[in-house]
Amino acid sequence: MNCSIVVNCTNRKSLPSDPNLIFADYFKIEPDMQVNAWAHNIEVAVKTIPAYDLYQGNYWSEVRSLRRMLEFLDLGIEFNFYVASAGMGLISLEDTIPSYNATFSPNNPNSIGSRSRVVEWWSTINTIMNRTSLEKIFQSSDFTFLAVSQSYLFPMICGGIDLRATDGNVALFSRSKNIPASLSNNAIPFIADFENYLGGTRDVQVLRVLSKIFQNVVEPLNLEQVKEYLEYLFANEASKRNYNRSTVADSTIETWIKSQLSIDNKSSATSLLRRLRDSGFASEQTRFRKIYKSVISANNDDLRSN
């Protein structure tokens, strides 16, 4: 069995943006020429790295954790991760790409633009760059999870995709109350108590749901199984969450911080403390920051000595 997981790109990246791939600079170009100029600059970019290594931040740390967990569990399922990227199109984690600054999120100086413009851009950039498509992913996968935000889902499904024709092999995580009929049967809604149980930001919560699904749902995966498990999870765990957190020793926190920094060495003390608390452990903020700074200082000393 093979399973595809489609996730978001992130604004935070491990490399500075290529100076020719900052979308705010493209507004001086005629709209009809923007996507072609952008695609050309992708092609001629000198420095590229795998998408898996380019994206950073809390959300991407969860993507990495999910991927490592799936490798460790060895479920006998072939997993393929794809990234919905405003700047690069629909890519795989292994695709090598340059760093860039472009987004579908509104109210951002590097936003592609209006909803109609975003739809047009998505279709054109994927065609020019010869990317795959959701339809091809659905056809080649036994099951697909769409774990993307609304601003990225919108252009992806505006080509007329009807999930009712996917025979229950696609699950869509969504917080929108206005899901089109063509998508509604495949949508897995989030409710407030469930979000409280999962912890973390909204995008991170989706990935944590996926982690629980893969740890508890046996193959062959299908939409009915996934929905039944999440109903069980909410009824038996999420609605009974105990907010009491266990206090842990300084040495345990230090080891945990080191493990998290090995995943994303740019993680802030605030984001890591939130993640620790979401995991059910307690630490006072001042104490946690002191341990965090000690770990960072030790890491810098190690780098200087090398």
Asked whether residue 17 carries a pLDDT value surpassing 90, the answer given is yes
Q: Round to whole Å and give the CA distance between 112 and 105.
A: 8
Greater pLDDT, 218 or 291: 291
Mean pLDDT, rounded, for 257-265: 86
Q: Look at residues 197, 214, 240 and tell me which one is the last residue of a structural domain.
A: 240
Residues 184, 259 share a domain = no
Instruction: Look at residue 93 in the predicted model and tell me its pLDDT.
Output: 96
Asked whether residue 127 carries a pLDDT value surpassing 80, the answer given is yes
Instruction: Look at residue 186 in the predicted model and tell me its pLDDT.
Output: 83
Residues 19, 132 share a domain = yes
Average per-residue pLDDT in the chain?
85
Q: Round to whole Å and give the CA distance between 149 and 159.
A: 17
Residues 184, 157 share a domain = yes
Mean pLDDT, rounded, for 86-98: 96
Greater pLDDT, 243 or 117: 117
Mean pLDDT, rounded, for 250-261: 88
Q: Please, which residues have CB within 8 angstroms of residue 239's CB and are 6 or more apart in sequence?
A: 193, 197
Residues 190, 299 share a domain = no
Residues 257, 206 share a domain = no
Confidence category of residue 237, pLDDT binned at 50, 70, 90: low
Number of structural domains (the chain) is 2
Residues 176, 40 share a domain = yes
Q: How many residues does the chain have?
A: 306
DSSP string for 216-241: HPPSSP-HHHHHHHHHHHHHHTGGG-
- The bridge status of strand 2-8 relative to strand 78-85 is parallel
**Sign of the dihedral defined by the CA atoms of residues 173, 148, 266, 54, in that order:** positive
Instruction: Look at residue 20 in the predicted model and tell me its pLDDT.
Output: 97
Instruction: Look at residue 241 in the predicted model and tell me its pLDDT.
Output: 53
Q: Round to whole Å and give the CA distance between 171 and 144.
A: 6
Greater pLDDT, 74 or 20: 20
Residues 107, 84 share a domain = yes
Mean pLDDT, rounded, for 29-37: 92
Residues 227, 272 share a domain = no
Instruction: Look at residue 208 in the predicted model and tell me its pLDDT.
Output: 86
Residues 268, 208 share a domain = no
What are the tens digits of pLDDT across the range 175-195?
666 666 777 788 887 655 566
Asked whether residue 279 carries a pLDDT value surpassing 80, the answer given is no
The enclosing H or E element of 58 equals helix 58-73
Instruction: Look at residue 281 in the predicted model and tell me its pLDDT.
Output: 76
Mean pLDDT, rounded, for 282-294: 87
Instruction: Look at residue 228 in the predicted model and tell me its pLDDT.
Output: 86
Q: Look at residues 222, 240, 258 and tell me which one is the last residue of a structural domain.
A: 240
Mean pLDDT, rounded, for 123-144: 92
SS3 47: coil
CB 9 within 8 A of CB 85: yes
Residues 219, 252 share a domain = no
Q: Look at residues 192, 211, 240 and tell me which one is the last residue of a structural domain.
A: 240
Mean pLDDT, rounded, for 218-226: 81
Asked which of 40-49, 50-59, 87-96, 150-159 is least confident by mean pLDDT, the reply is 150-159
- Domain housing 301: 246-305
Instruction: Look at residue 90 in the predicted model and tell me its pLDDT.
Output: 96
Q: Round to whole Å and give the CA distance between 105 and 151.
A: 6
Q: Please, which residues have CB within 8 angstroms of residue 55's CB and are 6 or more apart in sequence?
A: 9, 10, 12, 13, 14, 63, 83
Residues 232, 269 share a domain = no
Greater pLDDT, 153 or 244: 153
Q: Please, which residues have CB within 8 angstroms of residue 8's CB and are 6 or more apart in sequence?
A: 59, 83, 84, 147, 148, 149, 152, 203
Rg over CA atoms, the chain: 21
Asked whether residue 302 carries a pLDDT value surpassing 70, the answer given is no
Mean pLDDT, rounded, for 61-90: 92
Residues 227, 152 share a domain = yes
Residue holding tokens 């490798």? 71
CB 8 within 8 A of CB 173: no
Asked whether residue 42 carries a pLDDT value surpassing 90, the answer given is yes
What is this structure's pTM?
0.76
Asked whether residue 124 carries a pLDDT value surpassing 90, the answer given is yes
